[in-house]
Structure 1
Amino acid sequence: MPRRTATMLASTLMLIALLCAGVFITVPYSEMSPGPTVNTLGDHDGEPVLQISGRKTYGTTGNLNMTTVRVTSADYKMNLVEAVYGWLAHDNKVVPHDTLYPDGKTEEQSTQENAEEFSQSQESAKVAALKELDVPVRSWVIVSTVVKDSPAEGRLHAGDVIKAVDGTAVKEPADVAELVTKHKPGEDVVFTIVPAKEQAAAEKENKTATRTEDVTITTKASDDAGEKRAIVGISAGTDHTFPFTIDIKLADVGGPSAGLMFALGIYDKLTPGSLTGGKFVAGTGTIDDDGKVGPIGGIEMKTVGARSKGAQYFLTPADNCAAAASDAPDGLTLVKVKTIDDALGALKDIRSGDTADLTKCTTQ
């Protein structure tokens, strides 16, 4: 056999061997790719995404699309060939597995956490939109979750309203941890609460629950590294009562990143005219009760997904602007927003066609 032919054959066999080995060699990476994008003003799976009753609504035009990212599952074992392909693919992103699933988080745990964040983002979107419209919303601090086998288990329950801790009135969820950690582990802390059942009954009758009870819990030391803190094993959150019903119908989506677009969709449906002027606007960003827009993950995947569906403008959290602008799809204008007011101002310019003054994302 000629030497040249033998060399080519040997090289080909070596390449095949390497490819075969790459299929069986697993690497600790996961993949992100553009996910579905849904118009919050439209329908999904045959029903409106935003359903409002008890309040006058108005017709809308155009798109206010929320965007998503697909990720491989927690138990997915990526092989070397897939990792290399993902690194080379423009529309995909390969990241360390622990970036998506830190501390050995399981698929079930991640799904539950994403569902809770999604639910909370919906509540904050409603509050932010109604505050923008000067519609009053009643809010209070509640027990959000109770940790299994913690001192609070069986003593406090999800949905209990926390009125005070050690006699000090609670106004924000952060107040609860601050007051509890004033104690040393092993000391007692007194929660003044309205039990969840009584709160639910009062809400059903559109009344204010007035009967409270005191619950004494013995704190324990935290399990985290560093100085031990006193804890009782709960997380505090905020609950709201709205003057009319707002339902968000969107299954198989998790995480908090659709908050901004839900808030804008609600605002659009509750006001005359069209926020977009018929334009295709997409976006992303968390939102809090005060309308502040926060950063999200996978921004590059979301801009690609939005542009592929026809988006012309993309409302981008300020903290994500540099990353988004570094690889922006052609034909997509990235608009920088820090608050819902910023987003509403940008939409005013977009629908009027006067886009010269839009605050656009840059790589700096």
Structure 2
Amino acid sequence: MADHTQGGASGWNRNDKLRRRGNSAVRWYLAPVLVGVIVFCLLYFIPLPYYIYKPGSAENVRPMIEIKQGGQPESGSFMLTTVGVSDSNLIGYLYAKWSDIHELRPKEEVHRKGETDREYNKRQEYNMTTSQSNAIQAAYKKAGVPYRIENTGVIVLQVLQNMPAYKILQAGDLIEDVDGHKAAAASELTAYLQSKAPGEEVRITFRRGTETRTETLKLAELPADEGTQDGKPRSGLGVTIGTQQEVKPEDEAKQVTVKAGNIGGPSAGLMFSLEIYNQLVEEDITKGYQIAGTGEIDSDGNVGVIGGIQFKVVAAHRQGADIFFAPEDLLPGPGEAFKPILNATIAQEQAEKLKTGMKIVPVKTMDDALEYLKSLPPKAEASGKTAYSEPMRKGA
């Protein structure tokens, strides 16, 4: 009996050792897997406070423009150019650090003070609609089309923390009226609110998506950097707002509608204006060329500088553009002191790096672009096949 008991204990010990060895083996195999999972999560799922900028796309503007009457066939095309912008993780950060066509920018340098990602995106959408309005006006003026401007509402772009509108309004809300007064323009709404004293209440009706809401809010004194002018305090809700507009021609057949999808920012203005003008006039000003470009535009056709032009040149080159319109460099004049903003210079440098045959054309106004196109022969009549023929782009 004693021998049997000892043998049982010995067998139990052997089994226990085997189980422990098995558990150790499992742990040995699992440890690298767990470490790998943790490293994967750190690399791909932990966001960093940077945006990654890279070449975007060069897109034909024609399908984005609708005019009730107009729009003869085009032998060439106008293309807007975009910058690709994405959030960064560690992998993206490291890749961008070593890439010559990617750029990292801290979000705090891109955003306005206190601006969230959502508010930044809404501001970019608003900038796009404003650029479309300016482009339509510039094209109408050049084509001699009489028009009028209709204010259609006030949009919320940013809400300051610890102010009356915080957690009540949000970016993208459309303010319809205040105390029964229609909110047609941002300037009118601001003037009305500032006519009241901090502590007074106002009744705000606004639309969010398909839902209409009404809230009563107590006005507050705006922060010094937001609400003072000549040392005088101002009352308000603590929101940044913008005016939504529609451009209405006297001839309804020339009504322009722009559908640019999810493209944001103001820099497509010049290319929109050229495409709209081309659909309003009888001749085809493209003359068979693939014409890309960028630049903000105001209602008088003045072209303003933009950011990220080096990425847009790459996008246009990849799409086979013949011509690229770039805003002229913004340089300080006599008595002015600011850092120059280089557009045409950077565009030309990037084109030389790419060894592209694409022609970089600096412009200061819409007229500059039109005069350049007017000076070109039709593409089929240019020397060889084209002034900017395919062989010139080889090796890029």
TM-score (norm 1): 0.66
Q: Which residues in structure 2 correspond to 1:108-147 (within 5 Å)?
A: 108-140=118-150, 143-145=153-155
Query: Do residues 350 (structure 1) and 376 (structure 2) align?
Result: yes
Q: Distance in 1 between matches of 2:302 and 2:92?
A: 38
Q: Structure 2 stretches of 5 or more lacking a match? A: 1-38, 160-164, 170-174, 201-205, 207-216, 331-342, 388-396
Identity of aligned residues (%): 30
Q: Structure 1 stretches of 5 or more lacking a match? A: 1-19, 42-47, 163-172, 189-195, 197-216, 357-364
Q: How far did residue 104 of structure 1 move?
A: 5.4
Query: Do residues 82 (structure 1) and 105 (structure 2) align?
Result: no
Q: Distance in 1 between matches of 2:274 and 2:321?
A: 16
Q: Is the 8 A contact 2:53 2:84 kept in 1?
A: yes
Q: 1:327 aligns with which of 336, 350, 360?
A: 350
TM-score (norm 2): 0.61
Q: 2:248 aligns with which of 241, 255, 263?
A: 241
Output the aligned Cα RMSD.
Answer: 3.8
Q: Which residues in structure 2 correspond to 1:274-293 (within 5 Å)?
A: 274-293=284-303
Q: Which residues in structure 2 correspond to 1:204-223 (within 5 Å)?
A: 220-223=220-223
Amino acid at match of 1:40: V
SS in structure 1 of the partner of residue 321 of structure 2: coil
Q: 2:49 aligns with which of 23, 28, 33?
A: 28
SS in structure 1 of the partner of residue 146 of structure 2: coil
Q: Distance in 1 between matches of 2:304 and 2:362?
A: 12
In the superposition, relative to structure 1, how do residues 176 and 338 fare at CA in structure 2: closer, same or farther (>3 Å)? farther
Amino acid at match of 1:59: P
In the superposition, relative to structure 1, how do residues 223 and 57 fare at CA in structure 2: closer, same or farther (>3 Å)? same
Q: How far did residue 221 of structure 1 move?
A: 2.7
SS in structure 1 of the partner of residue 350 of structure 2: coil
In the superposition, relative to structure 1, how do residues 351 and 183 fare at CA in structure 2: closer, same or farther (>3 Å)? farther
Question: Residue by residue, what CA displacement relative to the aligned partner does 1:271-324 show, whole Å, maximum 9, x if unpaired?
Answer: 122212111110011112221212222111111000011012111112422332
Q: Is the 8 A contact 2:327 2:364 kept in 1?
A: yes
Q: How far did residue 140 of structure 1 move?
A: 4.7
Instruction: Tell me the residue number matched to 1:299.
Output: 309
Amino acid at match of 2:222: S
Higher relative helix content: 2
Question: Residue by residue, what CA displacement relative to the aligned partner does 1:109-136 show, whole Å, maximum 9, x if unpaired?
Answer: 2332222222222222111111111101
**Higher Cα radius of gyration:** 2
SS in structure 2 of the partner of residue 296 of structure 1: coil
Instruction: Tell me the residue number matched to 2:336.
Output: none
Q: Is the 8 A contact 2:154 2:184 kept in 1?
A: no
Q: Is the 8 A contact 1:278 1:351 kept in 2?
A: no
Instruction: Tell me the residue number matched to 1:59.
Output: 73
Q: Is the 8 A contact 1:257 1:285 kept in 2?
A: yes
Amino acid at match of 1:145: I
Q: How far did residue 222 of structure 1 move?
A: 2.0
Q: Is the 8 A contact 1:143 1:156 kept in 2?
A: no
SS in structure 1 of the partner of residue 101 of structure 2: coil
